[in-house]
Structure 1
Amino acid sequence: MIRLPIKFLGLLLFFLLNVGSVSAQYKQTVLNKTQLLLNKENTIPLGRLDALKIAVVTPDAQKYGVFVQQLGRYADISSFGFSKYDEQTKYFNTIIVAGTEGDLSQEMLYMLRQSLINRKNIILCRFQEVGKNIPQWAPLLGGRITELAYPDFSDLAQQNMAMSIFGGLAITEGKAINRTEQIRLQYTRGEGSGLNIAKMTQKIDFIANEAVREKAAPGMVIMAVKNGQVIFEKAYGSHTYEQTVSTKITDIFDLASVSKIMGTTPVIMQLQEKGIIDLDSTMGHYLWQAKESNKANITLRSVLLHEAGFTPYIPFYRYLKPGDVQSKASTSHQTKMADNAYLVNHYYRDVMWPEMLKSAVKPIGNYVYSDISMYVMKEVAEHETATPMDEYVQQILYRPIGMKTAGYNPRTHFDKDRIIPTEHDTSFRKVLLEGYVHDQGAAMAGGVAGHAGLFSTANDLAIYGQLLLNRGEYGGMRYFKSETVDMFTSKQSKTSRRGLGFDRADPDPKKEYPSRLSNSTVFGHTGYTGTCIWIDPKHQLTFIFLSNRVHPQVSVKLYDLNVRSRVLDAIYETINEVK
């Protein structure tokens, strides 16, 4: 009889109990005819994106519109023609040039030569037959560019070429040395997946249209990714019930409490794995103001598990005094909470945070969901990094990974028309909230809070979901250790279903949360504004639902109609049909 060491048995038991903790299973089910002819310094697929300033240059903006649009799913790009090539590309370090043989001229070749002299990284994409009768441009430029080719020109060709550049599609044609692997999301709407996408779409359409008709929410965006392939992505309804602006998949939503796992938690994950913080150390250890409070000996682990005994919610806006809020900015009122609503300076520092530290604490160990938990974790993070959390998460994750819209206070970065309005706040800010966080406490904290404040498109949420399915890796880069992701997303509590920061599927099948067909590997979070993300390692699935169910006033119909769970049920039913 073979006796295994106790340590090995422990590791084996951990693996068996965490069957969802497996690396991503990208499955390319579409034919990609893109060939990589020359890959200068292994440029393709493009890696970390925060150092790249990308210009896309085509002979005809309309003709190559599909190509440009698809590139824009992965990174911030600027698109130009050749008429003012030199001036327009001056401030970019990466230039993607695309065209057919008939569209690319000798003069354009000379322009690329100049860009090489100026140390630009050139990626040339040619739509034509690959063969000895058609000379490659790379040798004419001294082999100093990256060159790709596709054997025809069509919308499909443009999409596949664009996805190949970023690793959304693996390049499987041509010389073996120039083949690549998939490293990012693939936008092929379930092509070749074996799933009955049409049937699933009918089910989701019925549920979503019912939700809009019954005024559970004016509009919504629903997205599902399986095995790294986007199998569903669709917008429904309008920004408001006036139906003047239709909802688009590129719209930006207030995520509410999804901010907890997409904003604060990844920052804490990074600090923990680098040894900067210890989850079993205390609030009093990290926060001077907590040392003399009733929270001094509460561990960060208890805080993340919502087992610290904090009060669930403090309605700070109800305690404002006359003069604390005014309709115009001034030297004394610079915290903008909404259009025409400015809070007196330092209210969070001088009133809110001290009040949280003084608030009552119940016995530690029982699960009580509290927003104060993530206020605390934000304070810990900012004290340790000496950087505002909204800036820090952009530096370590959002910009490098290609999350283009995710962030706080979106009105400072995006046009108002792209941001879905939430509540018409008649009691506090007395205005329609457009691009300002719905949560009152987060608004009073300047729009950046540990528990709320984050805005995003569905696409950025999908990127984050895939990173977690990949157990910390995305776009060919590792951002978290696999064991860090496993620890935070797995069940960590003896008294609840929770992970560290993350919510999880309820083990009681009668609760059908988040779906009657979900399983024990599922983790994610919901948001008060009518949002959620659920990640299922067993099925390599990410499900995203974004809505503004709080417009124009808070409504419970999204819950009454069980919209989010029913949509996820429809996706699971489709997956289970092919087993």
Structure 2
Amino acid sequence: MISCLKKDCLRCVLFFISFMLVAFTAPGFYCRSAGDDWMGGMSQAEKSTVLLNNENGIIPFRNLEEKRIASVNLGTAYAAEFDSILNKYTEVGRFSASAYPPGRRDQLSSDLKLYNTVIVQLTGQSIADNVNRVFLKDLRKTRQVVVVLYGDPVSLKMLDGADFPVIWSANNNPGSANFTAQLLFGGVAASARLTLDVSLKYKRGSGYSTIVTRLKYAIPEDAGIDSRNLKPIDDIVAEAISKHATPGAVVMVVKDGKVIFDRAYGTHTYGDDRVTRIDDIFDLASVSKIASTTMAAMRLYEENKLKLDTIIGAYFPLARSTNKNNLLVRELMLHEAGLVPYIPFHNSIRPGDFSRDSSEAYPVKVADNYYIRKGYYEDVMLPRMLNSGLRARGRYEYSDLSMYFMKEIVEYLTSEKLDHYVLEQFYRPLGMQTAGYNPRLRFDKSRIMPTENDTYFRKTLLQGYVHDQGAALAGGVAGHAGVFATANDMAILFQMMLNGGTYGEKQFFQPSTISLFTSRQSKVSRRGLGFDRWDPDRDNRYPSELASPETYGHTGFTGTCIWVDPKSNLIYIFLSNRLNDQPANKISSLRIRPRIQDVIYEAISKGQ
């Protein structure tokens, strides 16, 4: 009894600490004066920041998949803020001259050898240093250089010979650091001009204009919302944590192309002191269906390689001799193919199917110290799915098998593994840094939120290995589950969708394709093609009582959801690890996700 009380007390203390940490990660977030200061700082930076030497349109950056970007600070005061913003758009290496004394600049140049694009931050004082000018000249011989210069415009004379873009900002303060960082990637637009003659090259009226091409990182007031009206989100998540619905969560809101709310709550597990961060990586569960497989299907549809009303046997040779041959692609994506909902493959594991050590015979890692034999998916899982019975076609019945089969179709048509295809076609070009399958191959597990303490199958805490048992047995890559990501990566992906298929001046889809897949396509359910949607039955209040009929997205078994409302130009992202403490789905019974969504809509309607 005493030990239980001690454990409960510890949990309460950790809960309080985690919430206090969240409350102070964004000082003054709900304070109107702080919001006014932010807006004023950004407005001033916009008026006093000039883009020069951009005749080749290098800024904002395009084709991020081709760039390896570094940021070098040569004496500015707010490099931490600047670099933090840069890394929301893509991975950017960080370097500071303070770590390289003047006599060791060759070492800095050597450390930049793997980067083809280098952003150099300077002040009027540091550009006057000949060592820095020589460094710039040498760097320009082999790299694309962009200079961000803060301070007196007279210092621009030192860059008269520059043939690379220069962003000059009059002030060296947090607002200018934020604005210039976002300007580089198209989060904000350049419009200001020099107001005086600096040199023969930089004359009064000089400057280039740009357009917004990517997400802007802002505050609610920038989208016409009073920050204080979003405070109930904190209370709802606090309730979820205190009632053991989830130990941790991240909530993100994107309005009008601006990230206006991005907060982390709680800890990685109950009884843990690892505070959740906004850049933690979550198991998306069934959100993978729309973040991966459906994206691939949309691309293949546009390329005229995938026909919605063609039988799947045309694209899936192994289905041809089974009762699945004549199912239509459209039926799979609407969950109307008559497939069984789920097959618990993990319940049929035999002693010879797994090993605690890896080997040539057991190469598929399912969890720490758990390996499945070679060919298990091809020899056991796929035949079992193909030989399963069929129920009534044309009736809605949600089935994971549909997306298992869609993965096979995508791989047949692309000649690539699904994980590689979506990484190269979408995630990397968009600047998404974490999205993908099998995150333990790419990230330290401390960055990944634990999902479940699996006591019935893998007998371990799952951290970085997909929770879904079938996806795990398939090697972590499946059509219905397996994608891990941060909230920021999902915001990028679905802002592209809201933009009509364009992001960073790159066209990923035609607007008509997005409209087709995300609109209601079923006569017997609310579903789109791959996408879940707003429920016309108002009694269900799904996904939110206030969402528009245009809303599309998906939920995930691990306690996740992404909802996109084109009418409100809104993206709502909720990521949690609700399975961590116990299997009861309190996230749903407490209506945590829709209640937060309701708060967002109410805040929008109230305005400022």
- Is there any run of 5+ residues in structure 1 with no aligned partner, and where? 1-27
Matching residue's letter, 1:493: S
Question: Contact 2:73–2:95 at 8 Å: present in 1 too?
Answer: yes
Deviation of 1:471 (Å): 1.3
Say yes or no: does 1:347 pair with 2:376.
yes
- What does residue range 497-508 of structure 1 map to in structure 2 within 5 Å? 497-508=526-537
Compared with structure 1, are the counterparts of its residues 490 and 450 closer, same or farther at alpha carbon in structure 2 (3 Å cutoff)? same
Q: Deviations over 1:463-514 (max 9, x none)?
A: 1110110110011111111111111111111111000000001011111001
Question: Contact 2:355–2:371 at 8 Å: present in 1 too?
Answer: yes
Q: 1:128 aligns with which of 133, 142, 151?
A: 151
Compared with structure 1, are the counterparts of its residues 60 and 151 closer, same or farther at alpha carbon in structure 2 (3 Å cutoff)? closer
Please identify, of 356-365 and 104-113, the stretch whose mean Cα deviation from structure 2 is larger.
104-113
Question: Contact 1:61–1:80 at 8 Å: present in 2 too?
Answer: no
Say yes or no: does 1:550 pair with 2:579.
yes
Q: C-alpha separation between the residues in 2 aligned to 1:155 and 1:243?
A: 34
Q: Which residue of 1 aligns with 2:597?
A: 568
Matching residue's letter, 2:423: Q
- What does residue range 430-579 of structure 1 map to in structure 2 within 5 Å? 430-578=459-607
Q: C-alpha separation between the residues in 2 aligned to 1:324 and 1:62?
A: 58
Q: C-alpha separation between the residues in 2 aligned to 1:190 and 1:106?
A: 44
Say yes or no: does 1:57 pair with 2:72.
yes
Q: C-alpha separation between the residues in 2 aligned to 1:195 and 1:136?
A: 42
Compared with structure 1, are the counterparts of its residues 74 and 137 closer, same or farther at alpha carbon in structure 2 (3 Å cutoff)? farther
Matching residue's letter, 1:139: D
Say yes or no: does 1:92 pair with 2:115.
yes
Q: Deviations over 1:353-404 (max 9, x none)?
A: 1110001111211100000000010000101111100000011110001111
Q: C-alpha separation between the residues in 2 aligned to 1:482 and 1:433?
A: 39
TM-score normalised to structure 2 length: 0.88
Q: C-alpha separation between the residues in 2 aligned to 1:146 and 1:157?
A: 17
Q: Aligned to 1:336, what secondary structure does the other structure show?
A: strand
Please identify, of 385-394 and 94-103, the stretch whose mean Cα deviation from structure 2 is larger.
94-103
Q: Which residue of 1 aligns with 2:172?
A: 153
Q: C-alpha separation between the residues in 1 aligned to 2:159 and 2:502?
A: 32
Deviation of 1:62 (Å): 7.3
Q: C-alpha separation between the residues in 2 aligned to 1:341 and 1:214?
A: 32
TM-score normalised to structure 1 length: 0.92
Q: C-alpha separation between the residues in 1 aligned to 2:247 and 2:356?
A: 28
Question: Contact 1:61–1:81 at 8 Å: present in 2 too?
Answer: no
Q: 1:194 aligns with which of 202, 221, 224?
A: 224
Q: Which residue of 2 aligns with 1:116?
A: 140
Deviation of 1:61 (Å): 8.5
Q: Which residue of 1 aligns with 2:95?
A: 80
Q: Deviations over 1:81-116 (max 9, x none)?
A: 342221011221101000211233221111121122
Say yes or no: does 1:66 pair with 2:90.
no
Q: Which residue of 2 aligns with 1:164?
A: 183
Please identify, of 305-314 and 77-86, the stretch whose mean Cα deviation from structure 2 is larger.
77-86
Q: C-alpha separation between the residues in 1 aligned to 2:192 and 2:504?
A: 21
Q: Aligned to 2:301, what secondary structure does the other structure show?
A: helix
Question: Contact 1:85–1:111 at 8 Å: present in 2 too?
Answer: no
Identity %: 43
Q: Which residue of 2 aligns with 1:106?
A: 130
Deviation of 1:176 (Å): 8.0
Deviation of 1:60 (Å): 5.0
Matching residue's letter, 2:192: E
Matching residue's letter, 1:196: D
Deviation of 1:57 (Å): 0.6
Q: C-alpha separation between the residues in 2 aligned to 1:235 and 1:359?
A: 42
- Is there any run of 5+ residues in structure 2 with no aligned partner, and where? 1-38, 101-106, 194-204
Q: 1:269 aligns with which of 298, 310, 324?
A: 298
Query: RMSD between aligned alpha carbons?
Result: 1.5
- What does residue range 203-214 of structure 1 map to in structure 2 within 5 Å? 203-214=232-243
Q: 1:183 aligns with which of 213, 224, 227?
A: 213
Paired residue total: 546
Deviation of 1:244 (Å): 1.2
Say yes or no: does 1:418 pair with 2:447.
yes
Q: Aligned to 1:215, what secondary structure does the other structure show?
A: coil
Question: Contact 2:466–2:482 at 8 Å: present in 1 too?
Answer: yes
Question: Contact 1:36–1:171 at 8 Å: present in 2 too?
Answer: yes
Q: Which residue of 2 aligns with 1:8?
A: none
Q: 1:377 aligns with which of 386, 393, 406?
A: 406
Q: C-alpha separation between the residues in 1 aligned to 2:55 and 2:96?
A: 24
Question: Which structure shows the bigger proportion of residues in helix conformation?
Answer: 2
